[in-house]
Amino acid sequence: MEVTGRFAPSPSGRIHLGNILCCLLAWLSARKQGGRIVLRIEDLDTARCPMRYAEQMMEDLLWLGLDWDEGPGADGGHGPYFQSQRTELYQAALERIKALTYPCFCTRAELHAASAPHREDGQVIYSGKCRGLTPGEALERARTRPPALRLRVPDEEWSFQDGHMGAYREHLARDCGDFLLRRSDGMFAYQLAVVVDDAAMGVTEVVRGADLLDSTPRQLYLCHLLGLTPPTYCHLPLLLAPDGRRLSKRNADAGLDVLRDRMPASVLLGKLAMLAGLNPSGEPKAAWELVPDFDWEKVPRTDIRLPEKF
């Protein structure tokens, strides 16, 4: 079967080296297998992801030589390619598993209370507070506050073999808890949208940052409930700022607005590929020149720190 990889960025600003590394590896992995790439804009949060950022991002990807076979501007019959325009599909999926969901009225403050159980990385595990509301109680509460919708997770462990990071497992109830499918303001949750879209767009291989490794068991569980065939997953190490912190707007020199003025695309890709173990000499390389030697085995499994001067 032909491999279909994807770019699934959430353009909430100009892309930075971390986003580029993710797109580069997704592209190389698909191209090395003779596969194709779908571009989907993950702009569920429309306020944070205005169209102009998506347009700039597409222009940046093409400048880098990271092209896509299907997506905005290249209709392959699975559009629209903006999540903000796919609400009906998410609603339909939600309807199918509605019996396993329940309304949740917890406020942000309640969810993030110091007493709430937390995962090691600081994420809150939902306490299950609204799980036991009777339909009458839920109706009463809904008069004053629109509810979010949560999926009731089973007391089960879900595991999978990541194509790069190896075996990963999570106990859904203990490590994750009942998770959101729709927010109280009506916005569908990333977990639901990504599963629905990857399946609807024929994506067979998901390449993305290791910060999403712990979302994967939830997504596999959703695939199972919806009767969808899950893709394979390869999670790549995170690219960190020189001080070891996560890349953010503070690291302006890792943003493409600065980098595009400083160097041609081939120089940028050559350096980035070197950090990812794929271009030992660090010499300038066009994206397609990196395809023949691409191998996941060369890519580190631990976070990569950017040098002081990229």
Residues tagged active-site: 249
In this structure, the chain runs to a length of: 310
CB under 6 A: which stretch of 5-13, 126-134, 244-252, 271-279 binds ligand GLU?
Answer: 5-13
Closer of 8 and 222 to ligand GLU (Cβ) = 8
103 pairs with which residues across the strands?
A: 149
Closer of 212 and 228 to ligand GLU (Cβ) = 212
Task: State yes or no: residue 191 binds ligand GLU (CB under 6 A).
Answer: no
Closer of 26 and 153 to ligand GLU (Cβ) = 26
CB under 6 A: which stretch of 3-11, 135-143, 149-157, 291-299 binds ligand GLU?
Answer: 3-11
Closer of 210 and 212 to ligand GLU (Cβ) = 212
State which of residues 194, 222, 234, 236 lies at the interface with ligand GLU (CB under 6 A): 194
Residue 133, both tokens: 């509301």
Alpha-carbon span 118 to 132, nearest angstrom: 21
Nearest distance, CB of residue 158 and ligand GLU, angstroms? 17
CB under 6 A: which stretch of 4-12, 91-99, 163-171, 175-183 binds ligand GLU?
Answer: 4-12
Alpha-carbon span 254 to 271, nearest angstrom: 12
* 239 close to 304: Cβ distance less than 8 angstroms: yes
Least Cα distance to 18 among 214, 238, 208 occurs for 238
Alpha-carbon span 254 to 259, nearest angstrom: 7
State which of residues 31, 36, 86, 208 lies at the interface with ligand GLU (CB under 6 A): 208
Nearest distance, CB of residue 194 and ligand GLU, angstroms? 5
Closer of 218 and 285 to ligand GLU (Cβ) = 218
Task: State yes or no: residue 70 binds ligand GLU (CB under 6 A).
Answer: no
310 pairs with which residues across the strands?
A: none
Alpha-carbon span 221 to 208, nearest angstrom: 18
Cα dihedral value 6, 8, 11, 15, nearest 10: -50
Residues between 8 and 47 that touch ligand GLU (CB under 6 A): 8-10, 42
* 101 close to 149: Cβ distance less than 8 angstroms: yes
Task: State yes or no: residue 212 binds ligand GLU (CB under 6 A).
Answer: yes
Name the DSSP letter for residue 253. Answer: G
* Interface positions with ligand GLU (CB under 6 A): 8-10, 42, 194, 208, 212
